[in-house]
Structure 1
Amino acid sequence: MPHFEDFYADKLRGALGVADADAVLDLRETSREGAAAAIQDMLERSRFGDAKTVAIRLSPPPQGGGETLFQPIGKALLEAKKRGWIERLQTLPAQDGLGFYVALSGKPAGA
């Protein structure tokens, strides 16, 4: 965005990242099964707590290419968004690496 300072351009793009999150879930050295369990645990716990934001960090693809946790974790997060457990879901900005920024809905009002 050539007509905006970087700070304002990032705000317009919605570049919320690790520094903006209430918590960070670092899955960079975690197996696929461990990462799936950690995401499920985070989502289950969030249903009974206050709303908060979480930056989920994932490992980049290995040198020369390969599979990452981005797709399976992304699918789980999209499913949770459809259920109303997540209010906002976006990828992390490039400077934070591979991952997601998630705003968890928390415990429903009156529950």
Structure 2
Amino acid sequence: MPHFEEFYANKLLGSLGVVDAEAVLDLRNATREQAAASMQDMLERSRFGQRKAVAIRLTPPPEGGGETLFQPVGKALLEAKKRGWIERLQTLPAQDGLGFYVVLSGKPERPDEPSAA
């Protein structure tokens, strides 16, 4: 859409979800420790690989409420975004359940390397 900034065009097109991602990190039924280790592994690996879109799926809260991994995973993703490891961060659309859609920045191109475009 040439007349809209990318942010607003994406708002009009709707949220990106699991079907739009290149990979899925399924943290449903993971413990807090397992989730933290998986997140750290994904973020560390992303720094040396290609740019990639990942859907991160989480278990919804139990009936009547309760703790989920949404907050700790979200905090880790925000920290990674501040470091420049994540280009895009948003929640998954309702039909995909609880989770996040992220675009990992990948390995930064060095000025002396030809682009892959």
Same fold (TM over 0.5): yes
2:38 counterpart residue number: 38
1:3 counterpart residue number: none
Percent identity of equivalent pairs: 80
State the shift of 1:69 in Å.
Answer: 0.2
2:107 counterpart residue number: 107
Residue 24 (str. 1) matches residue 9 (str. 2):
no
Change in 2 beyond 3 A, CA 1:22/1:31: same
- List aligned pairs for 1:78-93, cutoff 5 A: 78-93=78-93
Residue segments in structure 2 that go unaligned for 5+ positions in a row: 1-8
1:4 counterpart residue number: none
1:51 counterpart residue number: 51
Equivalenced residue count is 103
Report runs of 4+ in structure 1 exceeding 2 Å deviation.
Answer: none
1:62 counterpart residue number: 62
Q: In structure 1, how many angstroms separate the alpha carbons of the residues matched to 2:61 and 2:10?
A: 25
Supply the RMSD in Å over aligned alpha carbons.
1.7
Q: In structure 2, how many angstroms separate the alpha carbons of the residues matched to 1:14 and 1:102?
A: 15
TM-score norm. by structure 1 comes to 0.88
Residue segments in structure 1 that go unaligned for 5+ positions in a row: 1-8
TM-score norm. by structure 2 comes to 0.84
State the shift of 1:63 in Å.
Answer: 1.1
